[in-house]
Structures are given as structure tokens and as C-alpha cells.
Structure 1
Amino acid sequence: MALKTGHYAIARLLIDRGADLNFIEAPDVPNRQPVVNDAVEAAVARALGRAPEAAAESLAVLRLMLDRGADVTAPHPDSGRPVLWWAVFRVQYRRWDTMSAEDVSRLTAVFQALADAGADPDATGEWISHYAGSGEVASRERTNVRAYLTRHLTTAAPEPARGLLAVLDAVG
């Protein structure tokens, strides 16, 4: 909750006191996410916000979590997607034409932190889609982040896909 509400001092205290950095809610909790996804969402949102101090603070907490063992390679137990997918989804439909160079730089730093911790945009995994509300599996596909974004270059979101591919290329 500290990550979701921007209380980074509390998040740091919890991390220092041994919080489970790979915690995820029970299967019966709707839309559950690993806690590292909350840190990624905060870092992405702040990176694209207009408060550079908040962006730096949220990125510092994410890096602390990654340094202390938050796993960016583990697939989500429901969707099969690792943390890098979550980061992409949090950015995917943003308007890249309105982003400043500073926004892109801060966003790149978030993706760089994930890459440094082992997130691989070329790692293939099973992507499981569910029907909304039912939990029933709609489809399964083996793909990776880079292939997913490449496919979107000609479909629903070409500009964000191009921007995210450029970020992934910049981080290696």
C-alpha cells in the first residue's frame, strides 16, 4: 500500500525490516499483482509526471527492491507475464508525441533498472489472456515483449510501440 500511495519512506522502512519483496495477494484477490509490479507502476507513473523529485524517489525504491532480491523474471501466476510486461502495459497507451526528453530519460531509467535486475525483452514466455470477470482462459500465446511491441507497430498503438522499442533498444 505504501508504494501505491507514494509513501516511499514507509516502503523503505518495510523493505529494511524484511518485507517479502516477491509478495503477491492470494489467488482469490481480483487483479492481484506482485508487490514489485506496484513499485514498477509507481516508478513509471512518476517518471511521466511533472515532479522530478518524486520520479527519483520512486525509482530509488524500485532499485532498492531489485537490489534486495525482488524477482523480475518470475512469471505472474495468473497471466504468465513477468514484471517487464507490466512496465510495458503501464506505458503502452501513453501519447509519445507529448513526452519530453526528460520524460523519456526517466522512463528509460526505470527500464534500465529492470534490465539490470535480469528482465529480458527477448525472453519468451506463455502469455495467458482471461475473459474479463470470469477468470476463464481466453487464449494462450508464447511470445516476448519485443515481438509483442513489434506487432503493435502496425495495429492499435504504433507510436507508443515505437517509443517503447526505442527504450528497450537503449537499455540493451
Structure 2
Amino acid sequence: MKVVFEEIIAGDVDAVRERVAKDARVVGAVAGAAPKKYAAQSPLQVAYRHGEFEIAALLLTHGADPNYIEHPDREPWAMPVLHHAIKAAVSRSRWLRPTWREEEPWQLRNTADRADAAHAALLVLLEAGADVHALDSYGNSSLGRAALDARDVLPRYRHNDPDWVDPKPLNPELVEDLTRVFRALKARGADPHRSERDLGASLLEFYGAEPVARFLDA
């Protein structure tokens, strides 16, 4: 079964389609111990990890488990499929990166097409039955996953210096992209008031002073 993972990572949609047509059981394959970063993961997880959304949709059509997680224990870290899809949607949002040029200090990291494709793939997974209440092996919820990833692309906040303002602006494209990710999760029951196991508080309580709070509380 190792070859199907190689085809997914290579983005070879036709090869995966042909393989699934010959034996639909490959959608339930489990990656071997090497390489370690994919150990015990499903083809669907690997497809979302690599942004191969057409392959992900193909796998779901043929019965891939939208709620698969390699193990529920704390070590090593494991995430359900939905959390991989959330990471993909947030990382492909239109966030700003520095150019180090005075005349144009910031530029968009991603295009609208790239952001749209990742968001559409997230919706496909949710519509296939992915559970927004599924936790990773550290107890993080799907909304908690979205908050953690959003903090990486949003302007920073310093809790030890709340008067400090990050020179990175909050651009409207990023607001649009993140809003729809958080909205999709909350529309299906994700609750920003729910206590997160490792935070000892709700997401709104823990991140209330940070830029991500506007998306949690919208």
C-alpha cells in the first residue's frame, strides 16, 4: 500500500483514481512506520496535509473515513482528518508576509484561488461527516486548532506588553478567509465557550485579548 501514499504526495490524481478503481480498499490503507511523519496515517490525512484536494475528494467519494485519527493517545501527537483540513485552509489564506522593501513592505502570501480551493476542501470534508467536536491527541478541539493556526498568520500580540502594536496590518483578504473558516466550524456546533483541556479555559477566555478573538466571537 506504500505506493498509494507516494502517488498522493506526488499529486498524481490519475494514478490514485486508477488504483482506487481497481481496489477500493486502498482508501482505508494505513501508512507504515517510515517516514515517521506519516506513520499510521490514512491516505485522506496525507492528501489534506499536502493540499491534494482533488485526491481528498476522490477518497471521500470512495468511502474514506472523514473522522480517522491514527491514535487517541497523547504521544506522539496525532490529529483527526478535520484538523489537517483546517491547517490547510488557514495556511492557504491570504495572509501578509514582509518583503523588506520600503515602497511595498507587505505582500499577500497566497492567491484567492488557492484560498478558495482549501476552503472548499474543508467544506467537502465537513459535508462528508467530519465531526467538529473531534479532538487531537492533546485535547485540542477543531476550533482550537483553527485558533492556533490563525495566530501564526495574524498580527502578533504581546501579553507582557499589551500596548505594543504589530506593524503587520490586518488585511481585509485575511479577515474574509479566516471568517469563513471559523464560521463553517461554528455553524456545525464548534463552541468558543467550551473549556479546552490543555488551556484550562475557553478559547474566548484564553485568547480574548488577541486578534484571533474577533473570529472566535464573530
1:101 corresponding residue in structure 2: 172
Residues 126 and 19 of structure 1: is their aligned pair in 2 closer, same or farther, counting only changes over 3 Å? Answer: same
For the residues of structure 1 that align with 2:128 and 2:173, how far apart are their CA atoms? 28
User: Normalized against structure 1, the TM-score is what?
Assistant: 0.77
2:64 corresponding residue in structure 1: 19
1:138 corresponding residue in structure 2: none
1:146 corresponding residue in structure 2: 204
Q: CA deviation at 1:67?
A: 1.4
Match of 1:91 among 150, 160, 166: 150
**Corresponding letter in the other structure for 2:52:** H
**Corresponding letter in the other structure for 2:61:** D
Greater shift, 21-30 or 107-116, is seen at 21-30
2:188 corresponding residue in structure 1: 117
2:140 corresponding residue in structure 1: 81
The answer to whether 1:52 aligns with 2:112 is yes
User: Normalized against structure 2, the TM-score is what?
Assistant: 0.62
For the residues of structure 2 that align with 1:116 and 1:28, how far apart are their CA atoms? 28
Identity %: 32
Match of 1:40 among 55, 72, 86: 86
Q: CA deviation at 1:29?
A: 6.8
Structure 1 unaligned segments of length 5 or more: list them. 128-140, 154-160
Q: CA deviation at 1:68?
A: 1.7
1:2 corresponding residue in structure 2: 47
The answer to whether 1:167 aligns with 2:167 is no
**Corresponding letter in the other structure for 1:18:** G
CA offsets 1:114-172 (integer angstroms, 9 cap, x no match): 11121110112422xxxxxxxxxxxxx5321101102xx3xxxxxxx1x21112222xx
SS of the aligned residue for 2:48 comes to coil
The answer to whether 1:69 aligns with 2:114 is no
For the residues of structure 2 that align with 1:145 and 1:21, how far apart are their CA atoms? 25
What is the CA RMSD across the aligned residues, in angstroms? 1.8
Q: Which has the larger radius of gyration?
A: 2
Structure 2 unaligned segments of length 5 or more: list them. 1-45, 95-108, 156-167
SS of the aligned residue for 1:87 comes to helix
Residues 28 and 72 of structure 1: is their aligned pair in 2 closer, same or farther, counting only changes over 3 Å? Answer: closer
SS of the aligned residue for 1:33 comes to coil
For the residues of structure 2 that align with 1:164 and 1:62, how far apart are their CA atoms? 19
CA offsets 1:80-136 (integer angstroms, 9 cap, x no match): 221111111112243423331011111111111111121110112422xxxxxxxxx
Q: Which has the higher contact order (CA 8 A, sep 6+)?
A: 1
Residues 93 and 10 of structure 1: is their aligned pair in 2 closer, same or farther, counting only changes over 3 Å? Answer: closer
For the residues of structure 1 that align with 2:91 and 2:196, how far apart are their CA atoms? 26
